[in-house]
Amino acid sequence: MRSDTITKGLERVPARALLYATGLSREDLGKPFIGIASSFTDLIPGHVHMRSLERAIEKGIHAGGGISFIFGVPGICDGIAMGHDGMRYSLASRDLIADIIECVVSAHCLDGLIMLTNCDKITPGMLMGIARLDIPGIVVTAGPMISGRYGKQKLSLVKDTFEAVGRRRRGEINDNELSCLEMDACPGPGSCQGLYTANTMACVSEALGMSLPRCAASLAISSEKERIAYKSGQQVVGLVRNGVTARKIMIQKAFENAIMVDMALGGSTNSCLHIPAIAKEAGIEMDLKLFDTISARTPHITSLQPGGEYLLEDLYYAGGIPAVMKRLYNDLHDCSTVSGLSIKEIAKAAEICDGDIIQTKEKAYHKEGGIAILYGNLAPDGAVVKQSAVSEKMMRFRGTAKVFDSEEVAMKAIMGSQISKGTVVVIRYEGPRGGPGMREMLAPTAALVGMGLDESVALITDGRFSGGTQGPCIGHVSPEAMIGGPIALVEDGDEITIDIPNRKLDLHVTEAVLAQRKTRWAPPKPRITRGLLARYAKCVTSADKGAVLMAD
């Protein structure tokens, strides 16, 4: 075992002495050492209940014959960080988490790892870390939050708080209603209720084969989540004994399965950043076009918020990810999973408890999957849109550009009723390098929806969007403005065409005019010049490459 490095041999007397100081016995040193990377924090509702899950995992590891060691990784709540400078740290934290896992596991020669996680960048960061290390590991996502209630109305974070800001601005609701919504939308522990980024990545983890069956959708408050945590701890010890490492699970075909399930669900556009980043750590290069290829042949079979009707609790009671995979059975690759069962064995055994929530392919909500990749002279290297959350009316749109060089300035204009119908709002210098940190922009997109402009205004950015975004919002425009991509050359009044069915994003300005504008362009001064974000800006790659950090 890897842990033999610190437990065996004359020269390891000091290491053994220190391990005994933690309470271990002599016989414990012969057992597999299993780390529990926990993102517990009092700051995030998706993580406040993790102490009980840590205990369940510990029990499972001990029952399996291993020894458990808990260590922490940082967590950022995107909902709390949204709309201000704090959001610059969110994406950067993903790679920091991967580095922390590499450091702790490698320094202490751990044999296996349980990754207790839940939120947007934490789950992919942990998967990046285990892929880099290539040791046995299992992801335990801590589960979605149940819906809130306002009278008989189901509430969720994005629809009933972020979008409520725009509804209040237009006078659709009053201050008392707004106060009730913000108090009742999030009734307790768990990741935000819809298919936003946190729950998207939980579903991706399970479809990838890195979580036990039903883990993704099982509710934060459920006893089933406790049982899954216990079983995961027990199972990882078996993976260590059998030499089943992460890269034996995370193969090319497994990533294709994960993307297929993501497209069928209509998941967050952030998966287009995270899945390639995880794949890269697993030694697999992934082109952004793969998402579009799989989406084109995968029907969208669920109607989950933000673009649809249902919440993760509804998906859970309908059968969860195994039931979704049952619908896709003939299209899935039969890959191994950490459970010991293959993907098709899990899918075949699944029960679909509600055919309205998980439709057949023939009765799909859309014939294509949730995400489309657009190209054109405005995005030569690609841009990403959640097409399942765009109305039919806005699948093709031509409008006049209104350009903003930051999210804050754009938000001020939106809330000041300065955006008229037929406008394409362009927010630039918010990419991975320009932001720095590629902030999510749920506040402006939700405000546009709340103000009733989602079917008359589009938004384009080199930044990114929350999984809670709906409407014609095009993100990840590459190359980004900070490195001189075409989005840096757009001016107020330019005509822009969005054509999602034909995968086009075009700026109606001649090449000669763009070349002339290019001669006058110079990058703005960096917003951040010290600390983590300054280092991040120097090392981060483009969004179409997953916004990963360069090795040199």
SS3 21: helix
Residue where a domain stops, chosen among 184, 207, 239: 184
The residue segments making up the domain with residue 160 are 148-184
Number of domain units in the chain: 4
- The verdict on whether residue 402 carries a ligand-binding annotation is no
pLDDT for the residue numbered 240: 98
Q: Does residue 364 lie within any of the structural domains?
A: no
Pair of tokens at residue 16: 């053994």
Residues 195 and 208 placed together within one structural domain of the fold:
yes
Together in a domain, 256 and 276:
yes
Question: Which stretches of 112-270 are DSSP H helices?
Answer: 122-133, 157, 163-169, 175-184, 197-208, 223-242, 246-249, 252-265
Residue 359 inside a domain? The answer is no
Q: Is the pLDDT of residue 520 over 90?
A: yes
Residue 435 in any domain: the answer is: yes
Residues 176 and 293 occupy one common structural domain? no
Q: How confident is the model at residue 552 (pLDDT cuts 50, 70, 90)?
A: low
DSSP state of 158: I
> Whole-angstrom Cα distance, residue 406 to residue 410?
7
Residue 354: its pLDDT value, please?
A: 97
440 in a known ligand binding site: yes
Same domain? For 377 and 330 the reply is no
Considering the domain architecture, whether residues 193 and 340 belong to the same structural domain is answered as yes
11 plus 22 within the same structural domain: yes
Distance between CA atoms of residues 249 and 261, nearest Å = 16
Give domain status of residue 356, yes or no: no
Residues 277-287 have a mean pLDDT of 97
Span 303-336, pLDDT tens digits? 999 889 999 999 999 999 999 999 999 999 999 9
Q: Which of 133, 157, 184 is the last residue of a domain?
A: 184
pLDDT tens-digit series, residues 343-367: 999 999 999 999 999 999 999 999 9
120 is an annotated ligand-binding site residue: yes
User: For the domain that residue 285 is a member of, what is the CATH number?
Assistant: 3.40.50.2300
Decide: 91 and 273 in contact? Cβ < 8 Å: yes
User: Do 343 and 390 fall within a single domain?
Assistant: no
Q: Per-residue pLDDT tens for 180-199?
A: 999 999 999 999 999 999 99
Domain boundary among 312, 347, 382: 347
Give the pLDDT band of residue 551 (cuts 50, 70, 90). confident
pLDDT, greater one: 454 or 24:
24
Once rounded to an integer, what is the mean pLDDT over residues 55-74? 98
Q: How many CA atoms lie within 13 A of 315 on its CB side?
A: 35
Alpha carbon 340 to its chain centroid, in Å, reads 26
Residue 22 shares a structural domain with residue 62: no
22-42: average pLDDT: 97
User: Is residue 360 one of the residues assigned to a domain?
Assistant: no
Q: Is residue 549 a part of any domain in this protein?
A: no
Residues recognised as catalytic: 466
Tell me the per-residue pLDDT of 68-107, one tens digit each, with 9 for 90 and over: 999 999 999 999 998 899 999 999 999 999 999 999 999 9
Residue 158 has pLDDT above 90, yes or no: no
Task: Please tell me the pTM assigned to this model.
Answer: 0.95
Same domain, 167 and 273: no
Tell whether 365 is covered by a domain: no
**CATH code of residue 477:** 3.50.30.80
201 and 64 in a common domain = yes
353 part of a folded domain: no
Q: Mean pLDDT across the chain, nearest whole number?
A: 96
Residues 339 and 484 reside in one and the same domain: no
Determine if residue 407 is labeled as part of a ligand binding site: no
What local confidence, expressed as pLDDT, does residue 379 receive? 98
Do 264 and 390 belong to one domain?
no
Assign 406 a pLDDT band (cuts: 50, 70, 90).
very high
Residue-level pLDDT at 543: 97
